[in-house]
Amino acid sequence: MTVEAKKRLAHLFDTTKCFGCGACTVACTATNSPDLMLYEDPGWHSLATNIRRVEFNLRDRPGLLLVQCQHCESAPCVKTCPFGAMYNDAATGLVKLDERRCIGCSYCVAACPYNVRWKHPKTGLPMKCMGKGCEQLLAVGQLPACVQACPVGARAFGDLNDPGTEISRRVRNGRTVRLLEAKGTKPNYFVVV
């Protein structure tokens, strides 16, 4: 279900700036999963982080892309959840989980075409951006950990409904794509290319 949000919070990732330092990826773990510092996600063989690194082995121009929850307006995970645990937050548009309703069936993990969800090994809850640590940062007026971490400003986060925000300006002025738009997900993750 698509909800008319007061805000439309979105992420921006700039491939023309990212130099693959991994700061955002590690900062995500430190901020959102300090209980899983030495954990390896068996699905992705990854650190307990909400960010995935994808390298494109193109002949003319090898490319690097960091992917995380796209906070889709028409999110497959929201549609798929049998228990209504996944929802678009009315105030921000962010895709969130109501833990009280989640039984850990992992349908949402399987449904995500971006393959950016993983399962907490102890609670069984589906994990993704934004994690609890970043939600706390937002609550005190901070940017998410990955945006703060980036040494080259390859990331932005903010309200697309406000034309004065950094992300609005960069989406407006830059050349951006959204990933897998053909899936009808209406992602709120903009990639500068």
Partner 1 sequence: MKSGQGLELTRREFVTAGAAVAASAGLGLGAGWPTQAQVKALEDAGYEKKPVTCFVCGAGCGLYAMHPKGATPGERNVLIVPNHDHPQRGYCGRGASAMWYWNHPLRLKKPLKRAGERGEGKFTEIEWGQALDEIAARLKTVVEKHGEKGVALTSHDLTSIAQFFGYALGTPNIVNHAATCQTAGTISRRWIFAPPYDTNFRVDPDYENARYVLFIGRTLQASMGAQSRLAQAKSRGARAVYVDPRMPEAAMADGEWVPIVPGTDTAFALALAQVILADKSYDAEFLAKYTTLPLLITADGMPVTQAQIRPKGDATLYAVWDGKRSAMAFVGAKRDEEGKAIDYFGDLDAEPALDYTGQVKLLDGTVVPVSTAFNALVARCAEYTPAAAAELTGVPAATITRIAREFASLKGVCDDSWYNARNGNDFDACRMMVILNALVGNIDKPGGLCFTGSAGVGSLVSLQGKTGEVKNALGKSWTITETKRIDTVTYPESNGTFDAVYTAMLEGKPYPVRALFTVGTTLFYRDANTERVKKALKTLDLLVVQDILPQEVCDYADYVLPASYFLERPEVAGVKWTLQTAIQTSEPVLRAPAGCQGRDDAWMLMEVLRRAYPDRAERAGWLPEYADYEKYRSQAAPVIEQARLSAALKRAAEKDPDAPEKIRKALHTQGYAIVAKKKYRNTLWTKPLETASGRMEVYALRGLLNEKLRAKTDPLPKFTPIRAYRVPMGPNEFYLVSGKNPANGSGTAVFGWPGKFVGDRSVWIHPADAERLRVADGQMIEIEGLDNGVKGQARAKVTQRVRPGVLFTYGFSAGYRGRLGADPRFAFMSEGVNTHWFATGYAEPVIGNMANNVSVRVSAA
142-181: which residues touch partner 1 (CB under 8 A)? 142-143, 147-154, 156-158, 165-167, 169-170, 173-175, 177, 179-180
Q: Distance between CA 105 and CA 146 in Å, rounded?
A: 28
Compute the least distance from the CB of residue 73 to partner 1, in Å: 19
For residue 130, say if its preceding peptide bond is cis, omega within 30 degrees of 0. yes
**Could you tell me if residue 183 is left (phi over 0), alpha (psi between -120 and 50 degrees) or otherwise beta?**
alpha
Q: Rule CB under 8 A: is residue 10 a binding residue for partner 1?
A: no
Q: Distance between CA 13 and CA 18 in Å, rounded?
A: 8
What number of chain residues touch partner 1 (CB under 8 A)?
74
Q: Rule CB under 8 A: is residue 4 a binding residue for partner 1?
A: no
- Within 88-107, the residues that bind partner 1 by CB under 8 A are none
Q: Rule CB under 8 A: is residue 15 a binding residue for partner 1?
A: yes
Q: Rule CB under 8 A: is residue 44 a binding residue for partner 1?
A: yes
Compute the least distance from the CB of residue 4 to partner 1, in Å: 25
Phi and psi at 148, nearest 5°, equal -65, -35
Q: Distance between CA 31 and CA 49 in Å, rounded?
A: 9
